[in-house]
Amino acid sequence: MLEIKNLNVWYGAIHAVHDISMSIARGEIVTLIGANGAGKSSTIRAIAGLVKGAKGQVTWTGKDGRPVQLLGRPPEYMVKLGISLSPEGRRILPQLTVEENLMLGAYIRSDKDGIQADIEYCYRLFPRLKERRGQKGGTLSGGEQQMLAVARALMSHPDLLMLDEPSLGLAPILVEEVFATISEINREGRTILLVEQNAYAALRIARKAYVLETGAITLQGTGAELLENPKVKEAYLGG
């Protein structure tokens, strides 16, 4: 579904992502783990069309089976294809209500019934958001804002949902809840690319995983393999 070959990201003279290659098959959860500054967000943002200095091949094959090159296309084009990103750091609109934020995630759609059904779907996944549907985004707790960011990304009804550190700053109990929800979203047919620093939780739900270190992929395998890998254990799982 998504094939990344020799992706490089430059910010001026800074070479943030070095020649990485990854593949994501339809229906999979794939995770990209790595420390602060490893290049995780740069990778996922490049795929979403948000980084100007990205070079390489990112090939998307949609349901019609026709491959298209993504690099150099605007973010709206990605959304139309069925690719959606929940960005790092709770980028919701603080002045708008929960429901208005969700509606914004559906901005490219015009199927009113479908949008309403997806709002209900988000409220089923995150009952907390339903209780607070009329509350301003900025007054939600950090964890609730995180849930809203994930829910909003779902509102474009994506085939591929990309999540940038959905567990960032959450209490352990909420981390579990969010990861269970990610698994559920996947079971209902969506492919997921999950960027995480919480390696343990991410590897447990991922079919396939890549480890990124200073911009390069240093290890890859199934989630189960990497959970048992001594290097991963030492560097990311606390020994």
Ligand X SMILES: Nc1ncnc2c1ncn2[C@@H]1O[C@H](COP(=O)(O)OP(=O)(O)OP(=O)(O)O)[C@@H](O)[C@H]1O
Residue 220's Cβ-side half-sphere holds a number of Cα atoms within 13 Å equal to 12
Which of these ranges, 29-37, 95-103, 107-115, 218-226, lies near ligand X under the rule CB under 6 A? Answer: 29-37
Q: Given candidates 14, 171, 180, 224, which one binds ligand X under the rule CB under 6 A?
A: 14
With beta carbons less than 8 A apart as the criterion, state whether 88 and 168 touch. yes
Which one of residues 4, 16, 22, 174 is an interface residue with ligand X (CB under 6 A)?
A: 16
Q: Which is nearer to ligand X, 115 or 216 (CB)?
A: 216
- Judged by CB under 6 A, the chain residues 195 through 224 that form the site for ligand X are 197
Contact 52, 71 (CB under 8 A): no
Q: How far is the CB of 36 from ligand X (least distance, A)?
A: 4
| 57, 71 contact by CB (below 8 A) | yes
Q: Which is nearer to Mg ion, 125 or 209 (CB)?
A: 209
**Count of residues binding ligand X (CB under 6 A)?**
13
| E strands present in 29-123 | 29-33, 54-61, 67-69, 83-86
Q: Interface mask (CB under 6 A) for ligand X, residues 32-61, using x and -? A: --x-xxxxxxx-------------------
- Helix, strand or coil, per DSSP, at residue 202: helix
Q: Report which secondary-structure segment, H or E, holds 99.
A: helix 98-105
Looking at residue 237, the DSSP 8-state letter turns out to be S
What's the min distance (Å) between Cβ of 210 and ligand X? 12
Residue with Cβ nearer ligand X (3 or 88): 88
Subset of 66-95 contacting Mg ion (CB under 5 A): 88
Q: In the stretch 67-106, what mask flags binding to ligand X with x, by CB under 6 A?
A: ---------------------x------------------
Interacting residue with Mg ion among 31, 41, 43, 146 (CB under 5 A): 41
Residue nearer to Mg ion on the CB measure, 40 or 190: 40
Choice between 37 and 114, CB closer to ligand X: 37
CA gyration radius, the chain: 17
What are φ and ψ of residue 145, in 5° steps? Answer: -65, -40
190 — phi, psi (to 5°)? Answer: -100, 140
Closer residue to ligand X, CB minimum distance, 36 or 95: 36
Give residues in contact with Mg ion (CB under 5 A): 40-41, 88
Give residues in contact with ligand X (CB under 6 A): 11, 14, 16, 34, 36-42, 88, 197
